[in-house]
Structure 1
Amino acid sequence: MKLFRRIRHKLILDNKKSKYLKYAFGEIILVVIGILIALQINNWNQKRIDKNTEQIYLTGLKEEFEISKWKLEELININKKNYSGAKKIVELSTQNNDFTKESLFSKLLVETFSDDVAFNSNNSLLIEMINSGNLKNLSNTELRKQLTNWISTLEDISRQEEELSNQRIKVLDMFRTDKYSLNTVFQQAGVSNNFGLPKTENEVNNLSLLNSKEFENNIILFIITSIATEKAHYNPLMNDLDSILKLINEEINLSQ
C-alpha cells in the first residue's frame, strides 16, 4: 500500500494527470479483483463446511434408519407370529382331543398375545434437523421430501397399531371374568414361574372359550387387523425405509 501511495504522489507532483487517472482506475480494478477473489475463497470454504456438515447428517441418518429397518423387520416377524397363532386358535375348535387341545390352547394364547406390536423408530436426529431447520442442509430434494413424509407416515402407522392393540385387548378382556383362568393358561404354557405365580391344584378349564362366538369373532378381528397392519402399513413402510436408505447411500458415495 505504501508503494501505491508513493506512485500516486509522484504522478501528482509531476502533474501527469492522465497517467494518474489511468493508474487510479487500474488500482480500483485490482482492489475489486482482490475482493472478488476473497469472496470466492470464502464461498469455497463455506461450501466445504456445508458439505462436511451434510455428510455428518447423512451418516447419522443412515445409522438411524438402518436401526429402524432392523426394528421393523423384527416387528413384522412378531406380528406374523401373532396372527399365525391366532389362526391356530381358531382351528382348535375342530379338534376332539380335549387334553391336547387345552394344553395347546394355553400355549397358543401366551405365544399369540404376550407381545404387543408397536414400531419405535429411531428419529432423534431427523426430528432435531426438522425442528432446527437444518433439513435444508441436505442437497438432495427428493431425500428431503421423503424424510418429511416419513414423520407423517409414522403417525398413520401409530393409529393403525392403536387399532390392533384394541383388538388384542378385546380378546384378553374375556379373561377378566370368573369364567376363565389366566393362572391355568400360564401353568399349562409353563410360564407361571416367570410371573412368580403360585401353582394351583384346581385348574379351571378354558376350553369353553373355543365354543364362544364372541371369542371367535374377537380372534378373527384380531387376525384381520394384524394382516392389514402388515400388508397395508408395514410392508409399504419397509419400502419407504429402503428408498430413504438408498438415497442416503447415494449422497454419501457422491462425496467419496
Structure 2
Amino acid sequence: MIPFFRRIRQGLLSRNKFSKYLLYAVGEIILVVIGILIALQINNWNEDRKQEERFRNVLEQIYNVVHTDIATIENQIQGNLYHIEVLDLVLNQLDSIPDNELQNIITSMEFAGVTSTRESEFFISQLPINLKDQRQLRILKQITNFYIGNVFRDQNIMVKSTNLNSLFDRNDLPRPYQFPGFRDLEERYSQKELSQIRKLFKSPEGKSVLRNIRNEKRRFNVLVQTYLDDGKSILKMIKNYMPEVRMLYEDIGILGTATIANWNYSIPMTKTGENDEIWEIELELTEGAVKFRSRNSWTQNWGGQSFPEGKAEYFGPDINVEPGNYKVRLDLNKETYQFIELDK
C-alpha cells in the first residue's frame, strides 16, 4: 500500500502538478489521522470491554457476599424470635421447663449476632469503575452506602453479653457459654446450680435481666429489618444490571444421621447446570436428619424445617427425613430443596 501511494506522489511531482500534489498530500494526512482515530477507538472499546468484564466478575463476588449476609441475618432474626418465646416462657412458666431444656436455654439466651462479614470491604475496594458509566457509578454508590450504614447499625444493635454474665458473677454461678451450637463443649450445670438459677430467675433482679435481654432481641430484629430490605434491593439491582449473576460454590455435599456419612463427612453432590446453582444426588436415606454444606465445612451450611421439600435456610435446623431412596435436589439460587422419592 505504501509503494502505491509513493508512486502516485512521484507521478504528480514529475508532471509538475503541485496543486494536485498538495491536495493529495492533505487527503493522505486525513486518511492517516482517521486511521489513528479508528485504532484509538478500537483500543478504547477493547479496554472498556475488559473493564466491564472485570467489573462483572467482582460484582458477582459482591452479590454472593450480600446474599450470604442477608441469609445470616434472616437466620438470626428467626433465632431471636424463638429465643424471645423461650424468655417469655422462663419469665412466666419457669417451673414447667425440664432441667435439660433449661441447660440449653441458659447457654444461648443472650446471643444475637452481627449483621455482615468483612469480605464486603475487600471486594468493594477491588471493584473497577468506569467513571464514564453512570450505571456502574450508581451501583457502587448504593453498595457503599449499604455497607457504611450497616457498620453504624453494628455498633448499635449488638446484644450485650455482659448482662447475664454479671448476674451470674454476682451470684457465684459459672458464666453461660456464649457460643450456641457449641454448647455441648460446656460443662453442664449441676443439679444444685440449676436450683440456684431457678431461684435467681424468679427474683426481681433476675427477671429484670431477662426482660432486658428479651427487649434487646426485639430491638435487634426491628433494626436489622431495614438492613434486610436494603440488602434485597441491592441484590435486585445487581440482578437487573447482570441477569446472568449466580451464586458461586465449588462443591456441595449432604450429610447427617440419615446418611452413611452420619455427621463425619459430606457426601458430594453433582452440579447439574452451568449457570444454575443446582446440585443433585441419588441416595438411600434412613430415618434421621440431614443438612447440606459447602467445602466439607460448617462455615457455609443449609438446613430446613419441612420434608420432602422446603426453603433452604442458611445455618438452618436439621432436616428430618423419612426412610427411602431419593433424588435430592438443592437449588441455591432459589433457596429450595426437594427429596423426590424414586421407584423401588
Normalised-by-shorter TM-score class: 0.7 to 0.9
Q: Distance in 2 between matches of 1:128 and 1:175?
A: 40
> Gapped runs of 5+ residues in structure 1?
none
* Contact residue 63 and residue 238 of structure 2 kept, 8 A: yes
Q: Which residue of 1 aligns with 2:256?
A: none
TM-score scaled by structure 1? 0.78
Deviation of 1:75 (Å): 1.4
Deviation of 1:142 (Å): 3.3
Residues 133 and 68 of structure 1: CA distance in aligned 2, closer, same or farther (over 3 Å): closer
Residues 215 and 202 of structure 1: CA distance in aligned 2, closer, same or farther (over 3 Å): closer
Q: Which residue of 2 aligns with 1:16?
A: 17
> What value does the CA root-mean-square deviation take over the aligned residues?
3.3
- Counting only pairs closer than 5 Å after superposition, residues 1-256 of structure 1 correspond to structure 2 as 1-92=2-93, 100=96, 103=99, 105-113=102-110, 116-119=111-114, 121-124=116-119, 126-131=120-125, 134-135=128-129, 139-162=135-158, 164-165=159-160, 168-177=161-170, 179=171, 181-182=173-174, 194-196=185-187, 204-231=195-222, 233-253=223-243
What percent identity do the matched residue pairs reach? 24
Q: Which structure is higher in strand share?
A: 2
Residues 82 and 172 of structure 1: CA distance in aligned 2, closer, same or farther (over 3 Å): farther
Residues 227 and 249 of structure 1: CA distance in aligned 2, closer, same or farther (over 3 Å): same
Q: Which amino acid aligns with 2:241?
A: E
Q: Which amino acid aligns with 1:146?
A: Q
* Contact residue 81 and residue 112 of structure 1 kept, 8 A: no
Q: Which structure is higher in helix share?
A: 1
Q: Which residue of 1 aligns with 2:271?
A: none
1:96-144, Cα deviation, whole Å (9 max, x unpaired): xx5x45736555323424xx222253442x4235445735577334322
Deviation of 1:182 (Å): 4.5
Q: Distance in 1 between matches of 2:121 and 2:83?
A: 31
Deviation of 1:154 (Å): 2.1
Q: Which residue of 1 aligns with 2:267?
A: none
Q: Distance in 2 between matches of 1:193 and 1:76?
A: 23
Q: Which amino acid aligns with 2:207?
A: E
Deviation of 1:202 (Å): 8.3
* Contact residue 70 and residue 228 of structure 2 kept, 8 A: yes
Deviation of 1:81 (Å): 2.3
Q: Distance in 2 between matches of 1:60 and 1:133?
A: 10
Residues 50 and 156 of structure 1: CA distance in aligned 2, closer, same or farther (over 3 Å): same
> Gapped runs of 5+ residues in structure 2?
246-344
Aligned residues: 238
Residues 24 and 219 of structure 1: CA distance in aligned 2, closer, same or farther (over 3 Å): same
Where 1:80 maps in the other structure, the secondary structure is helix
Q: Distance in 1 between matches of 2:92 and 2:193?
A: 27
Residues 242 and 80 of structure 1: CA distance in aligned 2, closer, same or farther (over 3 Å): same
Residues 241 and 193 of structure 1: CA distance in aligned 2, closer, same or farther (over 3 Å): closer
Residues 17 and 101 of structure 1: CA distance in aligned 2, closer, same or farther (over 3 Å): closer
* Contact residue 92 and residue 105 of structure 1 kept, 8 A: no
**Structure with greater Cα Rg:** 1
TM-score scaled by structure 2? 0.60
* Contact residue 82 and residue 112 of structure 1 kept, 8 A: yes
1:188-232, Cα deviation, whole Å (9 max, x unpaired): xxx99643569677875333213422221221121112101101x
* Contact residue 55 and residue 252 of structure 1 kept, 8 A: yes
Q: Which amino acid aligns with 2:144?
A: T
| Greater relative contact order structure (CA < 8 Å, 6+ sep) | 1
